[in-house]
Amino acid sequence: MNHNTPVSPRPLSHLTDATTRVLTAAQLRAHGVAAADLTAACRPGGPWQQILPGVFLLHPGPPTSEERLHAVLLYAGRPPGEKVTLPQQSADSAAAASLPPNRRPAVDAAAAAAPEIPAAYGDAMITGLAALTLHRFSSAPPLLALERIDVLVPRTRRLRSTGPAHLVRSHALPRPQLVTGVPVAPVPRALADAVAQLADASAVRRLLTEAVRGGHCEPAAIVKELNQARLLTRPHVVDAVDSLLAEGRAIAEDRLYRLVSEHGLPDPLWNVDLRLPGGPHIGGVDAYWPDQAVALELDTRAPRQDEDALWSEYARKREHLERLGITVVHITPKKLRDAMDQQAQVVRTALMASSDRDPAAYVVVLPR
């Protein structure tokens, strides 16, 4: 034995799942596979194959969709020279698991419950259409139908797109979500990366509509990502966004109707304009309780280039109403979706507190 011979090479017979049927050259070396043996195994007719530069598939057939995902993450995830992590339980973890329960080291409950992204993936994550498929979008194609898989990486990563791996670079990476053991970009970011490569207006519209109807996210979050990606200059994207905002508005209004009926709140006047008698127009509100002088507004603003001007208009109207003694309740579609009970209590509190306030100024209420 010389100094180049691996000590106690690790057998590969235990490599049975997708994360271990796809390994990097560095991981194989750590398992005791010599470079010459790796080259021989990947020759035509051999048992292994190279699927991406430095990434190997440990069987001769075509890769499964799961194996392709792990391959592109391994290719994009680890900068050269990073410490190798073997795809198996660490010795310390295995030793701890072998101890009796009363002698095992304490583990923080939150840390234990949090999903752990494999270290070999680094900060890479699946995005684009592949991510939407993993998020269970019915309008996204199956993974095996995708020739390329988008993988989000830092802008400083020195790699090129090749084979099934299409690198999408970003100055700021979102926090990934773990889906079936794979780090995946959140839906708004995955949508933006998918739309950036789609010229089909109907496909863009289907994806954006499903995101809202399926409850994956709110329109404002999608428009924010599209705006940051500078996609709102494309006519087919703008048209789809206009439909998306109308769809999101309708869904939010339906939730607001449910909030009032299901929580036993008094019926308001819906979608009305407020004016001073013989005076100027104050503005429209989504619901108004004239006896209690409480107005409710749904904030369905989308963060576009004119956001500052739109927010100034919102703020001006709110200040005007409050100067007249009218309480303004401000609710976002996200809060309606995620915390309807809490928002109902906010409205109820505002209605009950009206008896403790000075009478509000008289306003004219007109249909909007």
Q: Which tens digit of pLDDT belongs to each residue from 325-343?
A: 999 999 988 899 889 999 9
161 & 302 share domain: no
Average pLDDT of the chain, as a whole number? 84
Question: How confident is the model at residue 143, as a pLDDT?
Answer: 95
Residue 317 resides in a domain: yes
Task: Give Cβ neighbours of residue 85 (< 8 Å, ≥ 6 apart).
Answer: 27, 118, 119, 120
Q: Is it the case that residue 7 has pLDDT exceeding 90?
A: no
Here the CATH number for the domain that contains residue 357 is 3.40.960
Q: Which tens digit of pLDDT belongs to each residue from 193-236?
A: 999 999 999 999 999 999 998 989 889 899 999 999 999 999 99
Q: State the average pLDDT over residues 141-149.
A: 95
Residue 139 resides in a domain: yes
Residue 237 resides in a domain: no
Q: Which tens digit of pLDDT belongs to each residue from 17-56?
A: 556 789 999 999 988 999 999 999 999 999 999 999 999 9
273 & 349 share domain: yes
Residue 331 resides in a domain: yes
Q: Is it the case that residue 98 has pLDDT exceeding 50?
A: no
Residue 24's CB is within 10 A of a number of other CB atoms, namely: 22
39 & 127 share domain: yes
Q: State the average pLDDT over residues 309-333.
A: 84
Percentage of residues of the chain with pLDDT beyond 90: 60
Residue 125 resides in a domain: yes
**Cβ proximity of 301 and 310 under 8 Å:** yes
DSSP state of 325: T
Distance CA 156, CA 221 (A): 26
189 & 272 share domain: no
162 & 86 share domain: yes
Residue 310 CA: distances (Å) to CA of 233, 303, 328: 19, 9, 17
Domain boundary among 151, 166, 197: 197
Q: Which domain holds residue 34?
A: 18-92+115-197
Residue 157 resides in a domain: yes
Residue 98 resides in a domain: no
Distance CA 168, CA 160 (A): 10
Q: Is it the case that residue 14 has pLDDT exceeding 80?
A: no
Distance CA 121, CA 318 (A): 48
Q: Which tens digit of pLDDT belongs to each residue from 147-194?
A: 999 999 999 888 999 999 999 999 989 999 999 889 999 999 999 999
66 & 170 share domain: yes
Q: Is it the case that residue 116 has pLDDT exceeding 80?
A: no
Q: Which tens digit of pLDDT belongs to each residue from 233-253?
A: 999 999 999 888 888 889 899
Confidence of residue 2 (pLDDT cuts 50, 70, 90): very low
Distance CA 342, CA 331 (A): 11
Task: Give Cβ neighbours of residue 364 (< 8 Å, ≥ 6 apart).
Answer: 274, 275, 276, 277
Question: How confident is the model at residue 188, as a pLDDT?
Answer: 96
Task: Give Cβ neighbours of residue 179 (< 8 Å, ≥ 6 apart).
Answer: 134, 135
Domain boundary among 172, 197, 222: 197
Question: How confident is the model at residue 119, as a pLDDT?
Answer: 84
Cα four-point dihedral sign 152, 154, 155, 161: negative
Distance CA 243, CA 250 (A): 11
DSSP 188-224: HHHHHHHHTT---HHHHHHHHHHHHHTTS--HHHHHH
Domain boundary among 197, 230, 250: 197
177 & 287 share domain: no
| CA angle centred on 84, ends 83 and 90, rounded to 5° | 110
Confidence of residue 299 (pLDDT cuts 50, 70, 90): confident
Q: Domain count of the chain?
A: 2
189 & 271 share domain: no
Question: How confident is the model at residue 311, as a pLDDT?
Answer: 60
Structure tokens at 283: 């503005």
**Cβ proximity of 303 and 223 under 8 Å:** yes
3-state secondary structure of 312: helix
61 & 176 share domain: yes
- The model's pTM is 0.73
CA dihedral 79, 81, 85, 86 (to 10 degrees): 110
148 & 292 share domain: no
Quick one: how far is CA 76 from the chain centroid? 20
Residue 281 resides in a domain: yes
Q: Is it the case that residue 9 has pLDDT exceeding 50?
A: no
Distance CA 154, CA 76 (A): 10
Q: State the average pLDDT over residues 63-89.
A: 74
